[in-house]
Amino acid sequence: MATGILKNVEIKGIACAVPDHIVNNEDYFDVFGEENVRRFIKMTGVKTRHVAFDEQCTSDLCYVAAKSLMKKLNWEPSSIDALILVTQTPDYAIPATACVLQYRLGLSDDCIAFDINLGCSAYVYGLWQAATMISTQNINRVLLLVGDTSNFGINQNDSSTAMIFGDGGTATALEKTEGKDLKYFLKTKGSGYKSIIVPAGHARSRSQIITDSSEYELYMNGADVFSFTITDVPNALNSFMKEYSIDKNEVDMFVFHQANLFILKHLAKKLGIPMEKVPISIDRYGNTSGESIPLTLVDVLGGEQSDDTLKLILCGFGVGLSYGGIYLELKKSACLPMIYTNYYFKGDVSKEREEDK
């Protein structure tokens, strides 16, 4: 597997914005039956979710998070060298939504801006990409945005997907810092690409006549995903910790992608770590795809005043099938409090900037 150490890079801050619209899964009693819903809640752990309004896009949530973080850190827009957006729900097929956000955030024309299409492993891959740019290039500051929304592409009549996904947008500020580094591993099991897929709607189906509307909706093979997660992921993590002599007993938190509670418990058991070291956010926010790791960090640490440092292993896994992990140290005070918002872009940047003043 791909492993390495990226030197002289540090996370300076993390912010997360979620919709202020809360959906309670018990509201689905009339749709799927009370017994089925209660069984679902027990298995997945998902009780409530923050779900975007129809007008809210991933970019809106990431925008709110980014503005709050830039203000907290006193980062001038002109000081940011690169903007990376990792999402599977962009504003448009083209152009890249990162270009739109570069404009909305008022960043310099000299700023690099691009999208990455990844789901559950998004944050780990995004951190690796941002840290690589800082560690190896003449780049000092990178703003990493990771988020997704589930207000389209989900079959509301399918109990396996209708009640599990929540929405959010996150911003992470990375900066060149002497003496700081992070260790990583990245892997891909592309043979399982059909395990989580939206089959239609893009180039592979452009010449086909699609009569089944479910082809445009998310399909997930739960058995395949579960088998992959409790076998391949812990094996990779154990190899990673062994390669870099990371003592799991000295790791303060293992922050996993919030797939579901059943999977998280099995991962902890496989790795031989107590659940006390595995923070849980899925009960209140749902499976928030690529942003679930930074969202969980903000949920646990948001608003902390202490500059004490935590040793963390972050691990994302899912769509692709793509997975990876990062070992780093993070100050408790790096995370802003959770932001709840109904904000969305109305198409006028000048008005948006006026509203921000």
pLDDT tens across 67-94, in order? Answer: 999 999 999 999 999 999 999 999 998 9
Q: What percent of the chain has pLDDT over 70?
A: 93
Please count the other Cβ atoms lying within 10 Å of the Cβ belonging to residue 184: 24
Average pLDDT value for the chain:
91
Position 320 scores a pLDDT of 83
Specify the number of domains making up the chain: 1
CA torsion angle for 255, 86, 301, 80 (degrees, to 10)? 140
List pLDDT tens digits, range 158-190.
777 889 999 999 999 999 999 999 999 999 988
Apex 102 CA angle, 291 and 6, nearest 5: 55
104 contacts 120 by C-beta, under 8 angstroms:
no
What's the pLDDT tens digit per position in 123-135? 999 999 999 999 9
Residue 204, pLDDT > 70, answer: no
- Identify the residue whose tokens are 């290039």: 137
Compute the average pLDDT of residues 187-211.
Answer: 70
Q: Which of 26-35, 126-135, 312-321 is predicted most confidently?
A: 126-135
Q: So what's the pLDDT on residue 212?
A: 47
How many alpha carbons lie under 13 Å from residue 133 in its C-beta half-sphere? 22
Q: Residue range 270-295: average pLDDT?
A: 96
What is the pLDDT averaged over residues 260-276? Answer: 95
Residue 185's pLDDT is 97
* Domain coverage including residue 42: 2-356
Predicted confidence band of residue 228 (pLDDT cuts 50, 70, 90): confident
CATH, residue 300: 3.40.47.10
Mean pLDDT, residues 106-131 taken together: 97
